[in-house]
Amino acid sequence: MHHYPLFLLMASLAILTPGPGVLNSLGNALRFGLRGSLPGILGVAGGSFIVAALSATGLGLLLATSALAFTALKWLGAGYLFYLGIKLLRAPAFRFDAPEAKRTGPWRQFAGGMLLQLSNPKSIFFFLAIFPQFIAAGSAHYTSDFLLLVSSYSALLVLIHSAYALLAHSLRRWLDNERGGHLINKASGASFLVFGSLLAASNR
């Protein structure tokens, strides 16, 4: 924990790297505005908190040692990303004023963000690799140090994803037309398919 600033730096770089969670936050900001993207961002942050906790349990050890468990979770996550990608590619041009854009409730966005994070085995391996570098399992302050690191990571995620959402929100006025609606769906769908393919091709 003497190197806590280094953890903040490593966590920030990891969160800044584009992935399904970032793409989800960007898409929500384009569809529902800056405030409307917050539930999805909180869902991704909540999923990170759960994943970090699981990485410190037997499940993290199981994924690290069992090829079968890792493969099962990997294909589950890849399948979900493929589903999102195909759904967006087949969707009609998105319209900001369409009724379906207003029907998507915050809890649904929250659940979607959380599911994205929970179905990604790479996030578990990130915490498995990072935490032992900063806290010792036998430390008397293990629980408090662990909570500090996880809370810091989740807070950084909310801040960085909000910055991404602010950037996407600033582009809405340029995309508020039929051509822009097609572009949003096609770009988002293709990106989800790419991330799904990368996850499917990954190994332990």
DSSP state string for 103-122: HS-HHHHHHHHHHHHHT-HH
For residues 95 and 135, the model is more confident at 135
* Mean pLDDT in residue range 80-105: 71
**Chain segment 12-53, per-residue pLDDT in tens:** 998 988 888 888 888 888 878 788 889 999 999 999 988 888
* Mean pLDDT in residue range 99-127: 77
**Cβ contacts of 94 within 8 Å, gap of 6 or more:** 30, 31, 101, 181, 182, 184, 185
Compute the distance between CA of residue 116 and CA of residue 119 in angstroms, rounded to an integer.
Answer: 5
**Chain segment 132-141, per-residue pLDDT in tens:** 788 777 777 8
Residue corresponding to tokens 């929970």: 118
Query: Do the beta carbons of residue 189 and residue 89 sit within 8 Å?
Result: yes
Compute the distance between CA of residue 177 and CA of residue 185 in angstroms, rounded to an integer.
Answer: 13
pLDDT at 180: 67
- Of 9-18, 130-139, 193-202, give the range with the top mean pLDDT: 9-18
Distances, alpha carbon 139 to alpha carbons 144, 145, 171, in Å: 10, 9, 48
Compute the distance between CA of residue 88 and CA of residue 80 in angstroms, rounded to an integer.
Answer: 13
Asked whether residue 81 carries a pLDDT value surpassing 60, the answer given is yes
Percentage, residues of the chain above pLDDT 90: 16
**Chain segment 141-170, per-residue pLDDT in tens:** 878 888 899 999 999 999 999 999 998 888
Instruction: Name the pLDDT band for 108 (thresholds 50, 70, 90).
Output: confident
pLDDT at 34: 83
pLDDT at 181: 64
pLDDT at 161: 94
* Mean pLDDT in residue range 160-183: 78
